[in-house]
Structure 1
Amino acid sequence: MRVLVVTNDLPPRVGGIQYYVDQLGRGLVSAGDEVVLLGSSSEGADAFDRTAPYEVVRERTPVLLPSPTVARHATRLVEAVGADVVLFGAAFPLGILAGPIAERTGVPSLGFTHGLEVSATRMPGGSAMLRAIGNRLAAVTYVSHWCEEHLRGAFGPVPDHHLLPPAVEPGEFHGAVSGDAVRDRHGIGSAPLVVCVSRLVERKGQDTLIDCLPRWRREVPGTKLMIVGDGPHRGSLQRRAADRGVSEHVVFTGQVPGPELPQHYAAADVFAMPCRERHRGREVEAFGIVFIQAQAVGVPVVAGGIGGVPDAVRDGETGLLVDGTDPDAVADAVGSLLSDPDRSSAMGRLGAQWCAREFSWHARTRELRGILAGLDGPATGPAGTQSFDSAPV
């Protein structure tokens, strides 16, 4: 199968969507498919592109927009590589290009969704845009049941609808991974440790973890907090730790290379990210790949129970879902696991078994290939084959 991927979301940019698109692209190549990515430019792209297992063609712009120029370039690539299918790394907004591509080549398109599209339904004109995109796609995938529940109606009856959650690489994330080297590097030793891996943005809830740390240290002496990642709120989080008198007990690692992530998860006694909705639901967690990464290495999790997160955690079995806006609930949940190592270990073991069984990229790639093979053709009808110039973009 020959696949053209059109996306703004690919490495070396860091994020869950970029990781998702890259892993499925690699999986398709490993399965014997030919994959070409049409993407936007970013710093460090040349180094990534030289080692990627698929061919990358980048436009000289930091953001691909659904413009006539991008439509023409994508169409030419479809013809040049003999693509059997076009895959949009994010259906919104680039999926609108499925119409002109299908009209000129007859090749069907599939669009991934990641949660941003739910936010679009709450913006003026967003629902109409999603319906226009749905009318042009042959299939849409969703990372969680929550996403499907909120988007199936928005995309309408034309495309096929499929669940395609994120996954982990079992050769990297597994129960035998050791976090000892990470603990030694940061002087943690054998102290109880809560870890959060995420971009440092307000909705992820690292501020709540800092607020809870004094209580945890009273109840479970010596407890420390490790915040892995970087982002615009790093400075404010560091100031918050100073204000709470816990600076010396909070480790900010900054951005960690991908190959080192499993060891950072494994260093934890508890993984916690009390995510919460912001801006009236325009910012929400559509799945939470960090939760399955933590569970895969055998660490129990405490998660903000919003959006699609319940798909990523078996509440009461592999972790605990809490209200991320309630600091007392977060403190209670994490504290209960820190103070009961036997319960934490049992949850961790079950989480590792569950993730090994349900969340592998190999299985997810197999599911994607089945979806792609089942695409009969482009969306039909006037809306499905409308030319770009008349499309409502």
Structure 2
Amino acid sequence: MVTNDLPPRVGGIQYYVDQLCRGLCDAGDSVVLLGSSAADSDEFDRAAPYEVVRERTPVLLPTPLTARHAVRLVERMQADVVLFGAAFPLAGLAGHIRRRTGVGSVAFTHGLEVSAARTPGGTRVLRRIGDNLAALTYVSGWCREILEPAFGPAPRHLMLPPAVDPQEYHRGVDGREVRQRWGIGDDPLVVCVSRLVERKGQDTLIDCLAGWRNEVPRTRLMIVGDGPHRGALERRAASNGVADAVTFTGQVPSDELPAHFAAGDVFAMPCRERHGGREVEAFGIVFIQAEAVGVPVVAGRIGGVPDAVREGTTGVLVDGTDTAAVGSAVVGLLADGPRRAAMGTAGAEWCEESFGWPQRTEELRVILRGAAGGSPA
């Protein structure tokens, strides 16, 4: 595996890469990860079930030096296949590795490549990458629709959406301790778990809160996570007169996240597109995490989110830029207990059937076996 995206850095891509590598190890495969440096990584690297080799740079690029190190690692490990944590730009090394070692490559995509696919120069770069890959994977149908034409016909194009750990995220998770810890009690609670950045839509939730409290008295909002937008969100809550009804938890340890999802009556993240589509939700793993613990969701209808939320069955999709629509969707769930329960049950069942990491790992193993041998598909 060659990647810039791995813990202890926090994020959906890092989680995706780590979970699949752990799954491969659990299945008996040997995994060695070539990655970039990160602060305080020693503890994680020692505990990981796979070997981590870090370069002394915060960002790996497809340079001759990185290529040499990757080739040496492939040769030392007698690797059967190379896996890139993200196709752009590091999978640009795939052709060199194949020519030097005879080993083929597979690359993940996560939606970050969409911006490149929308420019002629970027499309040319993606086509060169695709020409040297055995397979590419996509987290959502939206990503595949945009990226497959750009990468071209050489590799196999396959779906590999995110998943959840069924031992951690399941309908038996109890959120009562979290409610007690943050002083929520039995009040109606809307939860949002995400990095605090503008496109996630936490500002819209704050703008809706006063209206929710008029319709459903004592409604509270819990914002879980941290990020550069936190100060602006706290000021917004104060200026809207709802600061006492908003709880900012900051970053929460990963083993406590399931209970924070389960504490909510509704999970809401009205994500939206920014910068002309350069920032957009390619899937939204938080939606299936909420669904897995039995909480219905309200989500922005953007990018790959419809692959993570079954409209009208596990949640409600809305225009994340439409404050009135977001507010109405959340109130509609808060005020209707039977509907919430039905959606929660449907979401948990769907995740049990379709979104477990063991299932996703086996799908990846099939892809990797097909790619072993060295030539593009």
Separation (CA, whole Å) in 1 of partners of 2:334 and 2:116 = 39
Q: TM-score, normalised on structure 1?
A: 0.95
Residue in 2 aligned with 1:370? 366
SS in 2 for 1:364: helix
Deviations 1:27-60 (A, max 9, x none): 0000000000000011111110010000000000
SS in 1 for 2:86: coil
Q: TM-score, normalised on structure 2?
A: 0.99
Deviations 1:274-327 (A, max 9, x none): 000001111110000000000000000000011100000010001000000100
Residue in 2 aligned with 1:358? 354
Residue in 2 aligned with 1:320? 316
**Alpha-carbon contact 2:83-2:105 (below 8 Å) kept:** yes
**Alpha-carbon contact 1:206-1:274 (below 8 Å) kept:** yes
Separation (CA, whole Å) in 1 of partners of 2:332 and 2:63 = 53
Q: Choose which of 33, 38, 41 in structure 2 pairs with 1:37.
A: 33
Q: Choose which of 71, 78, 82 in structure 1 pairs with 2:78.
A: 82
- Residue 270 (1) aligns with residue 243 (2): no
SS in 1 for 2:277: coil
Structure 1 moving runs of 4+ over 2 Å: 376-380
Deviations 1:65-119 (A, max 9, x none): 1100000000000000110000000000000000110000000000000000112
- Residue 210 (1) aligns with residue 216 (2): no
Residue in 2 aligned with 1:389? none
SS in 2 for 1:317: coil
Q: Choose which of 310, 334, 339 in structure 1 pairs with 2:335.
A: 339
Listed as ranges, the matches of 1:89-168 within 5 Å are: 89-123=85-119, 125-168=121-164
Q: Identity, % of aligned pairs? A: 71
- Residue 329 (1) aligns with residue 319 (2): no
Deviations 1:318-361 (A, max 9, x none): 10000001000000000100010111011001100110110000
The residue identity in structure 1 corresponding to 2:343 is M
Separation (CA, whole Å) in 1 of partners of 2:189 and 2:338 = 15
The CA RMSD over aligned residues, in Å, is 1.0
Unmatched 5+ stretches in structure 1: 385-393
Shift of 1:136: 1.1
Shift of 1:126: 1.0
Separation (CA, whole Å) in 2 of partners of 1:68 and 1:267 = 50
SS in 2 for 1:232: coil
Shift of 1:376: 5.3
SS in 2 for 1:111: strand
**Alpha-carbon contact 2:62-2:93 (below 8 Å) kept:** yes
**Further displaced range: 206-215 or 123-132:** 123-132
**Alpha-carbon contact 2:4-2:60 (below 8 Å) kept:** yes
Pairs aligned (count): 377
Separation (CA, whole Å) in 2 of partners of 1:111 and 1:260 = 31
